[in-house]
Homo-oligomer: A and B are copies of this chain.
Amino acid sequence: MSDDEFLIAPDPKDPRLTERVEGADQDGNPITTSVTVERPLTLYLNSQEIVTMMSICDYPEYMAVGYLVNQNMIRPGDQITGIDYEKDIDTIVVRTAGETDFEDKLKKKTLTSGCAQGTVFGDVMESFDNVVLPKDAIIKTSWLYTLMKKINTRPSLYLEAGAIHGCVLCQRDRPLLYMEDVGRHNAIDKIAGYMFMNDIEGGDKIFYTTGRLTSEMVIKAVQMEVPILASRSGFTAWGVDLARQVNMTLIGRARGKRFVVLAGQDRIEYDAAAADAEGEPPALKRKGAAE
C-alpha cells in the first residue's frame, strides 16, 4: 500500500479543518482534544443563489460542482466557464456557458432520510426506470477486505477528530478518491464534482461509504452510474428496494471479515475465505463518531 494510490484524500493536518479545544474527561481531569470545524459555504450558479451548506470546505470547488451535478442543475456536456471561491465571505460561484432550467426544479423537492440538504428532485426519481448499470462489473471479496484496510488506516479527519463521514470511490482494490465531511452528502458531492471535472466514469467503480445505505445513497450512486455500493453501516428497506430495481450490488454491515449483501449478489466473487480476512483491530474501529 502506498499513499500514491489515492488520487485525492483528506489532509488531517490542514489547520483549517480541526480546532483544539479544552474540556474534561470522565474523572474531571482537564484534556485538550481536536474537533472538526464546519463552515458555511453559500453556492451560486451564475447569478442565482442556490443553497448554503455547512462543510469542512477542504475542496469547495469539487463540492460546488458535485452538488450541482447531483441535483441535475449541471448536466453532462454543460460547460463550466469559471469557479470563484471567495474564502473570506464563504461564497462560491460556479459559472456556466448556457442557461439552466433549475428554477422550476427548486419547486419540487422531496426531503430524504439521509443527511442534510438531502433534497432529491422529482425528475431524478422519474429517470430511475431508464438506468442500466453495467452487469459485468464485479467485486472480489479480497478487494473489499483490502479496500477497507487501506481506507481505515489512511490518516483522516475521522482518526484525528471524529464526527465525520467518509466516502471513497474505488477501482478494484484501489481507493482513488477519499473525501470526508460533516455531512455525508457533502463528501459524496465532492467525489461527484471530482469525477465530473476529471471525466471519471463510474461504471467500473466501487463506492464505499461509512454511512447508511438509504434510498438517498442509492440514488446518488445511480447518478454516478456506480454499480457497486458498500458500507460499514446498515440498510433501510427503501434503499434495498431501489438497489434491486436498478440491479445495483448493495453490500452493508461490512466490519472486519463480515458483511451482508442484500441486492446484486451476482457481482460478488468469493475469492477470499472470510476466515482469511483480518479481524478489525480495535483501534481501527470507527467509533460511530459520524453517526
Contacts and interface: CB of A to CB of B under 8 A. Distances in A.
A213 interface: yes
A162 interface: yes
Interface stretch (A24-32, A73-81, A220-228): A24-32
Given A162-B253, A232-B288, A290-B291, A38 B212 contact: no
Interface string A244-258: 000000000101011
Contacts of A25: 258-261
Given A35-B240, A115-B116, A274-B26, A233 B291 contact: yes
B51 A182 contact: no
B21 A259 contact: no
Given A214-B182, A262-B35, A288-B286, A163 B235 contact: yes
Contact of A233 (B38, B109, B212, B290): B290
Grouping DSSP codes into helix (H, G, I), strand (E, B) and loop, the A interface class, with mixed when no group exceeds half, is mixed
A116 B31 CA distance: 33
A265 B23 CA distance: 8
Contacts of A111: 51-54, 116-117
Given A36-B237, A37-B237, A232 B162 contact: no
Contacts of A55: 113
Contacts of A155: none
Contacts of A109: 52
Contacts of A24: 260-261, 265, 268
Interface of A: 18-19, 21-28, 31, 33, 35-38, 40, 51-55, 109-118, 141, 161-165, 182-183, 210-216, 232-240, 253, 255, 257-263, 265, 268, 270, 273-274, 277, 286-291
